[in-house]
Chain A
Amino acid sequence: MMTERPNPDALLEAIDRPEDLGRGRLKIFFGAAPGVGKTYAMLEAAARELKSGVDIVIGYLEPHQRPDTTALAQGLPAIPPKYFEHRGVQLSEFDLDAALARKPKLIIVDELAHTNAPGSANNKRWQDIEHLLAAGIDVYTTLNVQHLETINDVVAQATGVAVRETVPDAVFEGAWEVELIDLPPDELIARLKSGKVYIAEQAQRASESFFKKGNLIALRDLALRQTADRLDRQLDKYRRIQTDGGSLAVYEKLLVCVGPSPLSAKLVRAAGRMAASLRCRWLAVHIDIIGRAGVSSNVRERVLKNLRLAEQLGAETAILPATEMVSDLLKFASDHNISKIIVGKPQNPRWKELIFGSFVYTLTRRCREIDVYVISGDPEKGPARPTTARIAKTFDYLGYGGSVAIVAGCTAVNWLLRRHVDPLNLVMVYLIGVVMASSRFRRGPSILTALLSVLVFDFLFVVPYWTFAVSDTEYLFTFACMLLTGLVISSLTYRLRSQSEILRERGQRTARLFQFSRTLAECKTRLELITTAAATLAEAAGTRAGVILAADDGRLGLDSPASQFPLTPQLHAVASWALEHDQPAGSGTSVLSASTATFYPLVINSQKLGVAGFEASETSMLPDPERLALIEALIDVLKNTLDRLNLTEQAEKARLDAEAERVRNILLSTVSHDLRTPLAAIEGAGTTLLENGETLKPEARRALLNTVVEEVDYLNRLVGNLLDATRIDGGTVILKKEWQSAEEMVGSVVHRLKRLLSDRPVIINLADHLPLFRADAILFNQVLINLLENSAKFSQSGSPIEIGGRQTSEGIEITISDRGSGIAEEDLPYLFDKFFRGRQSTERQGAGLGLAVCKGIIELHGGSIRAENRNSGGAKFIIIMPFESPPAAEAEPIAG
């Protein structure tokens, strides 16, 4: 939140403003009052620019200008204004979209301080102009001194006319150039009288008092001073960079304490001016006393309003939860290297300060090296503090009733004890009551308990009884001690309790955050995650919420499945702005505040993840700080979860890539080895026949030719399996399922492998009336072929291969068993993996694809395949195909 003091490089940057590269330049034609000729001067400058060939356009001019101004304007191209219908009145406004689309080099937009018609994208014209500047368009505009935010109240004080349309000083300060259009007051009045200044009728009456000479002098003074100050600051900045950073060794930082009262606004403005003249950063802080009797939302809103004002004036703001005003404030100040603290002059009556101590006095006494500035308030001017309303609203009946009951209880006990116990010891019972009250109730009831106890004790148990009179003056001392002890105890207990409350609140919040992050962690899909998050955020904010994720290119998608409110194109634009600038936008913020929702960017490590949005509702325009803090914490958790998810996905993708790479490598080595070996054999046999064909014996020739045929056969099967494996992996296999009979399948495969199986008995043992099953004939055939080949390969020539088939509860079971050496136990789990080769070595292993293909095919059919060793020796492969009841065949008589 806080930045350290800038180094010279930063200051150089500040002058050169490289971050503003591509940003348009703002020129303000600045005047003391309407009628000094700002617009005219602006148009003249524009005409000059136009003559020198600059692409210039009039964005907006206030209507009803003087004739010579209008004549000047007619020579310039213009963008037609946008027309609004508002409560039956037609309003014209600057058309920002058209201007952005037109994108001239320089644009003229009159009246910087103007407030846009309701329904515009931005509240204020200066926000429109910010957009133009951001788009790289230079802007000429006009401004009167009374519209400057920080001197707003000074103007009101000086002229008696309150100005509601204000422009943040930062805009004025950040302008590339400010040209003062100056006209002595007498001349202005003369112009006004001769009708050369147009003033709208409704403003006529107000203007009569405004254009008094005294006012005009004051305003001129202010305008000249502002311009001079700005020049001075520029010069100073320049000088400081010219020398070195050394003169900045003592870098100031201001802190202003903000409360709910309108006086605080004045305080904020004063602090803003002071910070501006000291050219230093400043903070506006509201000290929130934890556990104080329920602060009304009204008060809270006014505090936030003051803080927002400070923000607009360029301050950083914070709400400081504190148990003890002064020490917590000083700790905060020293944490943030504050050099000056500005506080308001206390409004409390003197007696209150004597009893409860004075905040200002304590602060000045304990502030050590920090300067404390006390600025006077002006109680008559601000509206009355609504303290009574607040107390009435939150009057603690339970607390006060309870304290009366406690005193009554203690009195009853003492009444019973009064004959046996010395009156002085009865005091102890009351002290117990005070402790009880202050451990349960707020400060008020606790104090009441102490006071009541003294009174009742005096009334009932001190001679003379039944009066408040005291015969023994010694009792006065008792009363004093009793009251003091009661107050101290109540104050201590109260503080202890409020601290434990803070801890409890903190604990609850932590638990809530923890719960949230755990809920998010349990979400299976991204959609589920953001939907859950939106629900939690909505609950926390008390309004409809939504989470919208950005695509990989950092742009927001148009559909928002996890938003509880519809994401209109306007809101989409606001959300996009928030994400783009990594800054909250929309209702309740300073950007695009006219929109109906607020969006918080989800950006982590400059990675744009998305936005969280909240629909603006009547009640939640200004959410209270605790809620805001919770929402922000929740958003942080969401951000981190999303980020972690992204990282996990990236890691997973990397793992899959590595796995694919591994398979590819194995494939390459397998293919090159397994294809080359038979090719070498074929080439060997072929060349031998070619070279020595005539001299070879017939048997030798036949043997070579057999080699060629066998190797080709092997290659054919290998390529077939490779193709199958690729198709199954690629998901391109379309099953052509038909009813199949196991008998037929087995028959055709055994027939096809006649030659391979010719050296051994094949025992087929299929159950009678085995039901048909649905399968793709070609693929299922391939499974049986691969299994039979496998069995033949791993068992001795002459040993039998058995094929079984039966119906079980699981489906149709087809088994292929051999009498070979079986499968090594450690190989069993990997048997069906791609490119797995058993450890037993035989003359030819194959690519380790056959069984993987079998598994792939069977699983495509919804069946299963497994291997086991037979008790009696050998391996057994078991296929289970799902059973579907086939349509019954009609009975048919036997033909004669």
Chain B
Amino acid sequence: MLVIEDEEPIRKFLRIALESNEFAVIEAADGQEGIRQAATAQPDAVLLDLGLPDIDGLEVIKRIREWSQMPLIVLSARGQENDKVGALELGADDYLTKPFGVRELLVRLKVSLRHQQQRHTGGEPAVFSSGPLEIDLARRIVKLRGEQVHLTPIEYKLLQILTRYAGKVVTHRQLLIEVWGPNNTGDTHYLRQYMGHLRHKLEIDPAKPVLLLTEPGVGYRFSEETTEDHTS
């Protein structure tokens, strides 16, 4: 695990938290050092602070992504929503807003690692299942608590993308491009409406969603936490 972060106390906290969860930790205090460590030590995942003293955190993502798809989680301060979206679009896997708790960190990390593994084992499973939801990807059938739910093609497409990245945040832009094509990236209006429809069909209380969560200003996330909440 590579931690690129200039603030010493945060590095310390991350090292303790991660090591006690059986991750090995290497540290870098600035961007250049971080890129070098990422190349030489080949970590399983990177935790990257966006506000680095030497080079822009976004630049670090770009440089790492030139040669590696390793999971990369961005740590950012509040009020840097644009940077977050930028980081995600440059290929970061997920983000955490400071201050954050250990549990949140571990959840994000595990999801990213799992997705990385999936990429390696290759392909998506034929059937997606999370909590009460079950999707037969081959036959395009969605079942909620065993009952089939009728979705429009756009709703289905949205759900499919969100579940493909289950647990990870998907930006508005990414959704718009994948569903409506690259020319419609400005119309978040449609997105909101279809997400609304989808919630009405899948959530028990659409105003208190548990599956389709909103990340304000960034995008949506298909939550797996319902299941994890029960287990933890």
Contact = CB atoms under 8 A, between A and B. Distances in A.
Interface in A768-787: 772, 776-778, 781
A738 B188 contact: yes
Interface in A795-823: 803
Contact of A748 (B81, B151, B205, B214): B214
B190 A889 contact: yes
A617 interface: no
B199 interface: yes
Given A712-B99, A741-B192, A747 B209 contact: yes
Interface in A756-777: 762, 764, 766, 772, 776-777
B230 interface: no
- Grouping DSSP codes into helix (H, G, I), strand (E, B) and loop, the A interface class, with mixed when no group exceeds half, is mixed
B186 to A, nearest CB: 9
A843 interface: no
A303 B71 CA distance: 99
A743 B207 contact: yes
Interface in B48-95: 78-79, 81-82
Contacts of A776: 217
Contacts of A745: 214, 216
B188 A751 contact: no
Contacts of A738: 188
Interface residues of B, number: 34
B174 to A, nearest CB: 15
A246 interface: no
B205 A741 contact: no
Interface in B150-173: 150-156
B152 A751 contact: no
A744 B79 contact: no
A750 B78 contact: no
Given A712-B99, A894-B152, A744 B193 contact: no
A739 B188 contact: yes
B206 interface: yes
A893 interface: yes
Given A743-B196, A778-B81, A781-B216, A895 B207 contact: no
Contact of A746 (B81, B154, B156, B207): B207
A743 B199 contact: yes
Contacts of A746: 207
B150 A894 contact: yes
Nearest to A734: B82
B150 A889 contact: no
Interface string A885-896: 011010011111
Central interface residue in B194, B205, B206, by most chain A CB within 10 Å? B206
Nearest to A886: B189
Interface string B188-204: 11101111100100000
A723 interface: yes
Contacts of B133: none
A736 interface: yes
B193 A747 contact: no
A748 B213 contact: yes
Contacts of A709: 101
A9 B141 CA distance: 111
A895 B152 contact: yes
A746 B206 CA distance: 10
Contacts of A226: none
A330 to B, nearest CB: 84
A716 B206 contact: no
A736 B153 contact: no
B208 interface: yes
Contacts of A766: 207
Contact of A750 (B140, B196, B208): B208
A709 B102 CA distance: 12
A532 interface: no
Given A716-B99, A736-B217, A777-B217, A723 B189 contact: no
A720 interface: yes
Nearest to A765: B207
A596 interface: no
A672 B214 CA distance: 35
Contact of B150 (A747, A750, A751, A895): A895
Contacts of A777: 81, 216-217
Nearest to B200: A743
A738 to B, nearest CB: 5
Given A716-B99, A778-B216, A741 B209 contact: no
Given A739-B192, A743-B199, A894 B151 contact: yes
A745 B192 CA distance: 11
Nearest to B218: A777
Contacts of B156: 895
A740 interface: yes
Contacts of B207: 743, 746-747, 750, 764, 766, 803
Contacts of A744: 192, 195-196, 199, 214
Contacts of A778: 79, 81, 216-217
A889 B153 CA distance: 14
A588 B212 CA distance: 85
A802 B24 CA distance: 47
Contact of B205 (A764, A772, A894): A764
A893 B154 CA distance: 10
Nearest to A887: B189
A895 B99 contact: no
A398 to B, nearest CB: 82
14 contacts: A712-B99, A736-B81, A736-B217, A739-B192, A744-B192, A747-B213, A748-B214, A748-B216, A751-B213, A772-B192, A777-B217, A894-B152, A895-B155, A896-B150
9 tightest A-B contacts by CB? Answer: A748-B214, A739-B189, A764-B207, A777-B217, A777-B216, A892-B152, A778-B217, A781-B216, A741-B192
Given A739-B188, A743-B196, A748-B213, 18 more contacts: A723-B78, A736-B81, A736-B82, A738-B188, A740-B192, A741-B193, A741-B196, A744-B199, A747-B209, A747-B213, A750-B207, A750-B208, A751-B214, A764-B208, A778-B216, A889-B194, A892-B152, A894-B151
